[in-house]
Amino acid sequence: MSSRLFFFSLAFFLCTLSANAQDDAFIKDILEGAAENLAEDVDLYELTERLNYLLNHPINVNEASSENLKQLLFLSPLQISNLLKHIQTNGKLLDLAELQSIEGFDLVTVGRLRPFLSLSQKTSISNFSLAKLGSAGTHDLMLRYGRVIEVPKGFTDLPGSRYLGSQDKALLRYKYSYANRIAFGLVMEKDAGEHSFKGKVLSDHFSANLSINQLGKFKKLVLGDYSLQFGQGLTLWSGFGFGKGPDVTSVAARDVGLRPYSSSNEASFFRGVASTLQLWEHIEFTSFISYRRRDGSLKLWPDSSTTIQTINESGYHRTKTELKNQNSLGQLVYGGAMQYLSDNLNLGLVSYQSIYDQNFVTGTSAYNKYAFTGKRLINTGLHYSYTIKNMYIYGEAAHSIDAGWAFVNGLLVSLSPKLSMVLLHRKYDKDYQNFFANAVGEATNVNNEEGLYGGFNFTPSKRFIYSIYVDYFKFPWLKFRVDSASKGNEILVQGIYTPKKTMKILLRIKRELKQQNPDATDFTEGLKNVVKGSARAAIDWRLISSIDFQQRMELSSYKKGNFPTEFGKLVYSDFNYHKPLSKISGNLRIAYFHTPSYN
């Protein structure tokens, strides 16, 4: 099947909520970089919201702790350490331009960092007053609507799989916050193909929470929907998380603990009550309890009993089957995390139990032999990170009780002011069982994988940045469409040239090799190598203070076994208008792509 598309879009946003449209350019640049390290279907709103908050409430760099700076996810742990050491050694920064003199801070990083830092004293919140909640808080409202003009295939009369709802896709997000002390969030979403109204439910997906900060010993308190992120993601991590990508240091996770949930993703959150207590200066304890209904693939047995094999995380409820599986599984989760947090040493212990009202079974597929069975699962883990001189050492060990183990250990080291290196080793047992793990890996699930990752960042001057990583991995047990043990590798090389502050040029090459069963039309035996490749060239250029231009070209390739190589291509141009100090902005995109097949 061949697909060709010429795409033209023009949009103007009048009276935007941003006080300065230039802020949108900063956030867009960071999000584009972050998206390279995330799964394709991840909702970036949680990160967008965090960056928007920091734009309006910059971190006082001279008073910041390691925990404060971890909110800036584009900073590596070594960069955070170098920044704190620079201030300790040389005194407080007098000008943010001094950031360029700190080891590991190139022009791109400094440019991204400056809008989120300040030199001013922290604003006092001692005058917090309930009487001011209605008048002094901030309100953010976002409405989004979309509909494909043509009739997609899913809305045609396909037996058993026709979408039962309308083609409309809609989203409402609202957030109220006051003095970083109290916040209320609300998300309502309907996907294309879903019903808008079902009984008294206003939308297919509904999420809300109330969060309170700095309430006596309570550092954080959240009622409603929330996310939890600890360590390197082996034991407990909900919400988005980074992985392999052009930022080679992204394999070192930046955990943020308890946060109110603001994403439209319908799977990766908890629903209930959670709190973080500040027990002593460096010791905090997070406790949580959650109960919610999950979507699962139910099986009805002749004796009228039911079992479940997998939890469905797509969030779609469009067909009869998807509606039958909606909210079919009850999930109770409770536990806690004790952490010691200082600027150079973090230690943590996490333990929790999840209980289900349906029995999990493995099914008949051989690759599911070691999957979770039963109704109760206990997970526990230890994580650590330590900064010493020019090295950052980190890792985590996790165990699913009565089943397997998972380990990840890594090292970030600054070999010289111009060269840094990251090494990471991971080993996930084939019988490691965890529904809330989200760690570095090649597979979707955190099990049945061993790998060794190495990456380098080289900055010969302030204007050049070179990145490279190589990852070797193997899967000791079977996988979906892989009927024996398999292995693979991945390599990425990237160069960024910044001739001036208003221009950035990027070149990137990536190659990935995995193994799969032969296709039905391939009568040879044994696993076949599947090789995917891509090459990207891009230029970002600020023509004048109010107009940006981006040009990108990307080529991709796919080859399996002895079959011919397939190629795809994409070219697009962006023109963005954002007049400084104006609330009017607009963008224009012209794009063309050609893909000969699904691959």
Nearest to 136 by CA among 176, 86, 83: 176
What does DSSP say about strands 205-215 and 182-190: parallel, antiparallel, or unpaired?
antiparallel
Segment 233-252 shows an average pLDDT of: 88
Judge whether 411 and 393 are in contact, CB under 8 Å. Answer: yes
Task: Output the CA–CA distances (angstroms, integers) from residue 316 to 211, 296, 330, 499, in the order listed.
Answer: 28, 12, 18, 46
pLDDT at 550 over 70: yes
Q: In the numeric block, which tokens belong to residue 445? A: 């699930």
Q: What pLDDT score does 236 carry?
A: 98
User: How high does pLDDT run on average in the chain?
Assistant: 87
Reported as a pLDDT band with limits 50, 70 and 90, residue 39 is: low
pLDDT at 24: 61
Q: What pLDDT score does 441 carry?
A: 93
Residues with Cβ within 8 Å of residue 8, at least 6 apart in sequence: 589, 590, 591
To 5 degrees, how large is the angle CA 300–CA 302–CA 304?
A: 60
pLDDT given at position 252: 93
* φ and ψ at residue 64, rounded to 5 degrees: -75, 150
pLDDT given at position 244: 87
Question: What pLDDT was estimated at residue 30?
Answer: 72
Strands (E), 279-344: 283-300, 306-312, 329-341
Angle between helices 22-35 and 45-56 (to 10 degrees): 140
- What mean pLDDT is predicted for residues 228-232? 97
> What value does the mean pLDDT take over residues 483-490?
96
pLDDT at 15 over 60: no
Parallel, antiparallel, or unpaired: how do β-strands 345-360 and 306-312 relate?
parallel
Closest CA to 271 of 288, 296, 295, 285: 288
Q: How many helices (H) and strands (E) does the chain have?
A: 7, 26
Q: What is the pLDDT averaged over residues 563-589?
A: 86
- CA 528/CA 132 separation, integer angstroms: 66
Q: What's the pLDDT score for residue 121?
A: 61
Separation between Cα atoms, residue 475 and residue 443, nearest integer Å = 9
Q: Does 21 have pLDDT greater than 50?
A: no
What is residue 172's predicted lDDT score, i.e. its pLDDT?
Answer: 92
pLDDT of residue 552: 94
pLDDT digits (tens, 9 = 90+) for 283-317: 999 999 999 999 998 888 888 788 898 899 888 99
Question: φ and ψ at 524, to 5 degrees?
Answer: -85, 160
Least confident of 143-152, 316-325, 575-584: 575-584
Q: Which residues contact 551 (CB under 8 A, 6 or more apart)?
A: 538, 539, 572, 573, 574
Per-residue confidence band for 258, with pLDDT thresholds at 50, 70 and 90: very high
**Can you read off the two tokens belonging to residue 495?**
């160069």
How confident is the model at residue 34, as a pLDDT? 67
The tens digit of pLDDT for each residue in 101-136 reads: 888 887 778 888 888 999 876 554 555 666 677 677
User: Residue 384: what pLDDT?
Assistant: 98
Handedness of CA 72, 76, 81, 85 (dihedral sign): negative
- Give the rounded distance of the alpha carbon of 194 from its chain centre: 25
> Over the stretch 417-429, which tens digit does the pLDDT of each residue have?
889 999 999 999 9
Highest mean pLDDT among 69-73, 430-434, 497-501, 525-529: 430-434
DSSP 84: H
| Interval 359-378 mean pLDDT | 92
Residue spans per domain, the chain: 19-123
Counting residues of the chain whose pLDDT is more than 70, the rounded percentage is 90
Say yes or no to pLDDT of 241 above 80.
no
Does the structure show a pLDDT above 50 at 1? no
Distance CA 338, CA 350 (A): 7
CA nearest to 180, candidates 225, 215, 224 = 215
Alpha helices in 235-328 (DSSP H): 320-325
Please report the beta strands in 361-403, taking only residues with DSSP state E, as ranges in sequence order: 374-388, 391-400
Gap between the terminal Cα atoms of the chain: 11
In this prediction, residues 143-162 reach a mean pLDDT of 82
Q: What is the rounded CA–CA span in Å between residue 594 and residue 567?
A: 9
Q: Which residue has the higher pLDDT, 225 or 14?
A: 225
What is the model's pLDDT at position 13?
A: 44
Average pLDDT over residues 440-458: 94
> Residue 251: its pLDDT value, please?
92
Lowest mean pLDDT among 62-66, 230-234, 347-351, 381-385: 62-66
Decide if 434 contacts 333 (C-beta within 8 A).
Answer: no
Stretch 330-356: mean pLDDT, rounded? 97
- Distances 485 to 430, 445, 517 between C-alpha atoms, Å: 11, 16, 11
Q: Is residue 449 over pLDDT 90?
A: yes
Q: Write down the residue that tokens 């985590």 correspond to.
A: 396
Position 122 scores a pLDDT of 54
Q: Residue 429 carries which side chain, given as an amino acid letter?
A: D
138-152, 187-201, 206-220, 551-565: least confident range: 187-201
Residue 182 has which token pair?
């109290």
- Phi, psi (degrees; rounded to nearest 5) at 577: -115, 125
One-letter amino acid of 134: G
Beta carbons within 10 angstroms of residue 309's beta carbon: 20
Q: What is the mean pLDDT of residues 451-473?
A: 94
Give dist(CA 431, CA 377) in Å, integer.
13
Q: Where are the alpha helices (DSSP H) in 221-375?
A: 320-325
pLDDT top residue among 406 and 149: 406
pLDDT of residue 42: 62
Which has the higher per-residue pLDDT, 63 or 304? 63
